[in-house]
Amino acid sequence: MENEIIEVEQIQGIVPEHPEKIYAITNIGEENYAINAANVLEIVKFIELSRPEKLPSHIAGLFEYDGKIINVVDIKSVLNIEPTPYDINSLIVIIKSNENIFALMVNKVIDVRRVGSNSIQPVPYHTVNNFIQYIYEYNDIQCNVLNLESISNWIKNHPDDTSDSAGFELIPNDMESLAVLHERKLEYIEKTSKNPYAIISDKDEFVSFYVGENKYCIKMNDIKGFYKLQEIKMTKVPCTPDFILGLVNIKGDFICVVDIKNYFHSQRAPYSGSGTIIVLNSDEFKIGILADAISDNIQIKPDEIAVLKKQESKNELIQYVKDGEIYLMINVPEMLLNDKLFIK
């Protein structure tokens, strides 16, 4: 996710001039919806929400984020989607619009990927609220790109209709689920009290992923895209270093796929023929890293990274500890300067 909030285009029918944006592909009900990752502050597992006696029908509950009480919106109600219950595996996506911070309830986040402006199309119709901004084809299925500014304005100006409690009724209320949600809330409070989040402009966004038992992370701006290995044919190249798994053709570009565990630790990672290729954002090199599984996103202050770099001699791989978990932070610019990537 990018640090700087990109303003959403307000003119209907015009595709943004930005060549690429990063979107979180989410599942809401039975449909897929894309959310501009530049507006996402954090994604957290569904936790216990505060629920006063009266709230608008489209508000599932209240959530404390960065010292502020924000609305958690039942986006199904806003989009007039058939109401279906949430469960403890649902997610809360915290959004920063131009004038507001709010949260959306989603069933799950399917993917995070860069999308070029030529891959999205303006909606071929007009609605009163313009909640859907563009249409994007994701894995041959239509994916609606949410207009977060329109949704934010609607939430802000919508009358407080408390005649229906649909959003609240969709929340699990069995004793076992309530206990899990309450425990998560306590864990979240403890975590944020030790590491309070600043606004997104004060932090860099990193994507974490697993290779074997190791957990790595890469700055989102250093990532060009994510691609499922199962959907791409990889060709082994003879007379190359052991850490080169092979070449793949992605949209006409031949990408050299690197076994990052072998590259850094001289330990070959088990190759199962599955996983996700993370293509690095570089004009000079066409390089991808094979990840076993994509994990969560983390935010790290730039000054924290600067301190860590001073402690490392090569600066190519930096160990970072967050909430008791070890992340191996890949410094992509430094990595791309390493002579071992030049195949002779």
- 161 in Cβ contact with 53 (< 8 Å): no
Q: What percent of the chain has pLDDT over 90?
A: 8
- CA gap 134, 119 in Å, rounded: 10
pLDDT over 80 (residue 27): yes
Q: Write out the two tokens for 117.
A: 């402006």
- CA gap 261, 213 in Å, rounded: 10
pLDDT over 70 (residue 99): yes
Pairing of strands 31-36, 141-146: parallel
Instruction: Using pLDDT thresholds of 50, 70 and 90, give the confidence band for residue 37.
Output: confident
Between 109 and 99, the more confident residue is 109
Residue of 121, 91, 89, 109 lying closest to 23 (CA atoms): 109
pLDDT over 60 (residue 163): no
pLDDT over 80 (residue 313): no
- DSSP-derived 3-state class of residue 262: helix
pLDDT over 50 (residue 273): yes
pLDDT over 70 (residue 310): no
Between 342 and 103, the more confident residue is 103
pTM higher than the cut 0.75: no
- CA gap 330, 13 in Å, rounded: 39
Q: Write out the two tokens for 194.
A: 């030790």
Instruction: Using pLDDT thresholds of 50, 70 and 90, give the confidence band for residue 314.
Output: low
Task: Summarize pLDDT for 8-23 with one digit per residue, the tens.
Answer: 333 233 334 445 788 8
- CA gap 43, 35 in Å, rounded: 12
Average pLDDT over residues 235-251: 86
- CA gap 73, 101 in Å, rounded: 11
**What is the pLDDT, as a whole number, of residue 8?**
32
Instruction: Using pLDDT thresholds of 50, 70 and 90, give the confidence band for residue 148.
Output: very high
Q: Which residues of 3-35 are buried (b: 16+ CB within 10 A; e: fewer)?
A: bebeebbeeeeeebeeebbbbbbbbbeebbbbb
Residues 6+ apart with CB under 8 A from 94: 40, 41, 42, 43, 44, 63, 65, 70, 101, 102, 103
- CA gap 247, 343 in Å, rounded: 13
Give how far the C-alpha of residue 284 lies from the chain's centroid of Cα atoms, to the nearest Å.
26
- 248 in Cβ contact with 271 (< 8 Å): no
**What is the pLDDT, as a whole number, of residue 13?**
37
State residue 9 phi and psi, 5-degree precision.
-65, 135
| Strand order, beta sheet including 40-45 | 40-45, 91-96, 101-106, 68-73, 59-65
**What is the pLDDT, as a whole number, of residue 19?**
56
Tell me which DSSP letter residue 50 carries: B
Task: Summarize pLDDT for 108-123 with one digit per residue, the tens.
Answer: 888 888 787 778 888 8
